[in-house]
Amino acid sequence: MNGFIKWLLSLVLIGLVGMAAYTFIMLNWSYGSGDRAGYVQKFSHRGYICKTWEGELAMVSMPGTMSEKFLFTVRDDAVAQKINANLGKKVALKYDQHIGLPSTCFGDTEYFVSDIIVLEE
């Protein structure tokens, strides 16, 4: 019985280390990156246990046309403050795409904004 408990604990420990390594790799390796321009129309800090900054960028290709929405997540509080300071202005968001994250605790979307550039005041 004692050998079985050691084997079971070893198996659980290997699983936890493997999950931690997978999460670390997925958060630090980017599948894609790019820029999106538009107007931030919604930005909030939400979640019960894991609080994340979630936003919505309205991308307008031509005046008078329906805007496309780009949903994004911000992990850095300094970037979140820059976005809050520029709500209502046309901005460009630089983002990295992280796919395969094991939970929504890291964000509701796979697009993580790393910087903001104000295009017009």
80-100 pLDDT, tens digit per residue, is 999 999 998 999 999 999 887
pLDDT at 16 over 80: yes
Provide the token pair at 48. Answer: 């019960």
Report all structural domains of the chain as residue ranges with CATH numbers, in order of start.
31-120 (2.40.50.140)
Provide the token pair at 77. Answer: 């509080």
Provide the token pair at 74. Answer: 């911000």
- How does pLDDT run across 29-65, given as a tens digit for each residue? 778 889 999 999 999 998 888 889 999 999 877 777 7
Q: In the structure, what pLDDT confidence band is assigned to residue 102 with cuts at 50, 70 and 90?
A: low
Q: Name 52's bridge partners.
A: 46
| Cα 120 from Cα 5, distance rounded (Å) | 63
pLDDT of 56 = 95
User: Are 90 and 37 in contact, with CB atoms under 8 Å apart?
Assistant: yes
**Residue predicted with more confidence, 69 or 4:** 69
pLDDT of 114 = 93
